[in-house]
Structures are given as C-alpha cells and as structure tokens.
Copies of this chain bind each other. A is one copy, B any other.
C-alpha cells in the first residue's frame, strides 16, 4: 500500500514515462517535471540504478541543468548496501523530485526494495515529493510491477510476470514502450489476474502525469492507452493452462494524446481541448 498522506499534506505527483523521451530543452515531458519540482528551486535526485551504463545519470543531470533546474544529484546506488549511505539519504530527504532512469526494473526492485531509499521515496511522495521514472523506472513505480513478458496483442496466462514494485500507487499497472513493443497482450494479462487496477500503456516519449487527486494528464508525442477492466464481464484466467489465450469481455479502452486527461477515481477520459 502507498504510504499514508497525513492531514495537511499533499501527495507528490507520480510520473511514469514510456521510455525514449526527448532529452532536449523543448521536451514537454522533462520541462513539466522540472517545473513541478520547483524550477530554479528544484532539487532533483537522479537514480540510475536500473541502467548498466556508466553515463546514464550524467545525461539526465545535463538535461536538467539545460532546463534550468536549481540542482540535481546522481545517487550512486549499485548495491543494497549503498541504500544505507548517509549522504545518499540526506540528498533524498532534501529533494523536491526523484527521477529513475531506464534499464531493468528488476535491478530497481532487487536493489532498492525494502531499503531506506525506498522508504524515503514512499514517505517523501506522501509529503509532496514528485517521483518520475522512465521505462524500467516507470514500471517500478506501482505496487504491482510487470517484471517481464512477451509481446503480442492477445492476453495469455503467464504472459506477464508480476513482481512487487515501489508501491507509490496501487491504482495502476504500468507498461512502457507500449505501442513500440506491442504490449497490449501482456498488460491485459497483468490486469486479468485481478481487474481492480487500471492499466496504463505508455508509449515512448510520452508521460502520464498523475496528480495528487489521481487525475492523469498526458504529455509527449505518443499515446497513453488506458485499459479500464472495472466492468469486466468475464475472465477465463483462472481456468486456462499456462501460455494459453485468455477470454476477457467488457473491457474499456481509451487512447489519449498530449493534453488528454483520465480521472482514475471516476474512470472518465477527456480528450485534449482542440
């Protein structure tokens, strides 16, 4: 469960990005993130842990500097032990925003899961800390994370393998590189296990900005596919063998573009004003 928001506090925004976001001044996604975090007063903590490349953190620090964010730090977290480092925890405590890079979401969950870093991110978000993640960083944000799976449009038993994520929200299950990697089937599979959550399929260079009231606004050049299984009529997930296709009826689908909104509470979609 997400950390409890105390009276008088406002939860920070939660921002899954589909990967491949443009790392340039004109990018609406990173611009909006920096602005949310305070612009020239922003203190952004970059977590490059998902990536195995050495310069991933540096690239984002450069972009945030170009976007005139006040300050950004790279948290060097390679092991679970690194998550006890006092300097790292101090940076997190003073941050206004956290940005998790792409890579492998299982690195994020296995290295950060249950550590003081994860605890600070959760409690921080409940007090107003904005948390963004791209690609693997997006997958990791929710309570239930798609660890891996195969591509394809039809849901199948076992097509998506779920693992516990950071748990900033349990309202959504996120999939990234959505249209680019044909992931409708695996997102439907993930939802079919238990249709309480809403599925967010985030295209590359696209972000779902989830505000403190659970209203989503779409930024970027691609689409956000919202899958609402709340009116699911039937699922054969419990009855079919592993790897077999699954029957699902009465699923609602929305495809939203920049400026489009989706209210996770009322489950209503609004297109961008033209």
Contacts and interface: CB of A to CB of B under 8 A. Distances in A.
Interface of A: 151-155, 178-180, 182-185, 188, 201, 203, 222-223, 225, 227, 233-234, 236, 239, 245-257, 260, 269-272, 274
B251 A252 contact: yes
Contact of A154 (B155, B179, B247, B270): B179
Contacts of A272: 236, 247
Contact of A255 (B180, B188, B239, B256): B188
Given A154-B203, A252-B250, A255-B154, A239 B274 contact: yes
A249 B271 contact: yes
13 contacts: A152-B179, A153-B153, A222-B245, A233-B271, A234-B269, A234-B271, A246-B257, A247-B256, A247-B257, A250-B254, A251-B253, A251-B255, A253-B253
Given A234-B271, A236-B271, A250-B269, A184 B245 contact: no
A153 B201 contact: yes
A236 to B, nearest CB: 6
B236 A155 contact: no
Contacts of A153: 153, 178-179, 182-184, 201, 225
A151 to B, nearest CB: 7
Nearest to A192: B255
Contacts of A179: 152-154, 185
A274 B256 CA distance: 36
